[in-house]
């Protein structure tokens, strides 16, 4: 049994590698089929118990190869397993919601640093919350916060509600457009990861063919929708409030110019590859 298991895992890795995909994806997929973690995949006893519980090695192999075929057809790994990892969180994701990116973790770090410098309860609004990755990272890592997640797309809201229910029910969900969100309300911090890819820009097949266009494309220049988020943030923030917005690597100058009238201390931040990735500012 163990030899067969090792053989088809090796075969899966070889098939992925030949198609240009990371071999490690095979481990994630097989662990998902077995109902164990990827780390447990390297524990012979955990694997044996999982196979015994399922009771049919042929069924396991068939399901594994079906998932491999779908991955090679460029379905996102996270959609196939139903799980995306973000900072310390395990989020449920699937078709209809953007897969959280590691680059966004740096934005969360900047926001958490600002929150640490504040006293008492801190009110945070996440504009365009998607799966809830940013919302829930801040809610769980900064327990002094009161967080509101704003999202208008029904498919994304489905996943947002699932993750809030699983991770932090204290988060309030508001299903509406950012332009209409929280009229008359002021908060301490606003975070935003709006659609910002310029229309027509070529994206990897995993993204272009499977992830929701409504969460990706920001208009002909990519700035049309981010500009709406900036206007909403300026309306929502108290004087001295903190704003962090993720954007396309080509947009730092445009973002800074859009912030200049209502914000000070505007600073661009780079991702781990040295690309401009998000900008922060303080409300005048």
Does residue 18 sit in the same domain as residue 143?
A: no
274 and 210 together in one domain = yes
- Asked if 40 and 47 count as a contact pair (C-beta separation under 8 A), the reply is yes
Give pLDDT tens digits for 217-236.
Answer: 999 999 999 999 999 999 99
**Would you state the structure tokens that stand for residue 232, as one six-digit string?**
């909403």
If one counts the domains in the chain, the total is 2
- Listed residue (157, 161, 128, 142) closest to 247, CA to CA: 128
Where helices occur in the chain by DSSP H, the ranges are 2-18, 24-34, 44-54, 57-72, 77-81, 104-116, 133-141, 154-167, 205-210, 224-236, 252-259
Tell me whether residue 238 is in a domain: yes
Within 13 A of 111's CA, how many CA atoms are on the CB side? 32
Does a structural domain hold residue 78? no
Domain boundary among 73, 88, 108: 73
What span, in angstroms and rounded, lies between the C-alpha atoms of 150 and 121?
Answer: 20
CATH number of residue 258's parent domain: 3.40.50.150
Instruction: Report which of 257, 258, 250 is spatially closest to residue 277, judged by C-alpha positions.
Output: 250
The verdict on residue 53 lying in a domain is yes
- The tens digit of pLDDT for each residue in 68-112 reads 999 999 999 999 999 999 999 999 999 999 999 999 999 999 999
The model's pTM: 0.93
Q: 232 by DSSP, 3-state: which?
A: helix
Q: Residue 197 falls within a domain, yes or no?
A: yes
Asked if the structure places residue 86 within a domain, the reply is no
76 close to 206: Cβ distance less than 8 angstroms: yes
What is the mean predicted confidence (pLDDT) over 135-153?
98
Pair 200, 276 in one domain: yes
Domain, as residue range, for 139: 97-283
Residues 233 and 142 in one domain: yes
């Amino acid at each position: 049994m163990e030899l067969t298991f090792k053989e088809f895992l090796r075969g899966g890795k070889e098939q992925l590698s030949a198609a240009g995909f990371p071999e490690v994806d095979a481990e994630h997929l097989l662990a998902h089929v077995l109902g164990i973690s990827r780390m447990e995949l390297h524990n012979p006893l955990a694997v044996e118990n999982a196979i015994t519980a399922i009771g049919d090695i042929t069924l396991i192999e068939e399901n594994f190869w079906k998932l491999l075929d779908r991955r090679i057809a460029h379905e996102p790994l996270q959609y196939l397993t139903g799980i995306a990892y973000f900072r310390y969180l395990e989020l449920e994701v699937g078709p209809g919601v953007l897969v959280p990116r590691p680059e966004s973790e740096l934005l969360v770090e900047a926001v958490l640093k600002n929150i640490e410098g504040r006293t008492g309860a801190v009110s945070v609004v996440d504009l365009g919350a998607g799966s809830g990755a940013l919302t829930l990272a801040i809610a769980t890592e900064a327990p002094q916060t009161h967080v509101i997640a704003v999202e208008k797309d029904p498919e994304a809201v489905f996943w947002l509600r699932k993750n809030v229910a699983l991770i932090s029910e204290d988060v309030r969900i508001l299903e509406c457009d950012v332009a209409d969100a929280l009229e008359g309300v002021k908060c301490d911090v606003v975070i935003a990861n709006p659609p910002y890819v310029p229309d027509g820009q070529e994206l990897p097949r995993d993204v272009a063919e499977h992830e929701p266009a409504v969460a990706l494309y920001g208009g002909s220049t990519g700035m049309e929708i981010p500009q709406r988020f900036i206007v909403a943030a300026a309306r929502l923030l108290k004087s001295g409030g903190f704003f962090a917005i993720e954007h396309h690597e080509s947009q730092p100058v445009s973002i800074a110019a859009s912030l200049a009238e209502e914000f000070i201390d505007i600073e661009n931040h780079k991702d781990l590859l040295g690309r401009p990735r998000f900008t922060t500012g303080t409300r005048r």
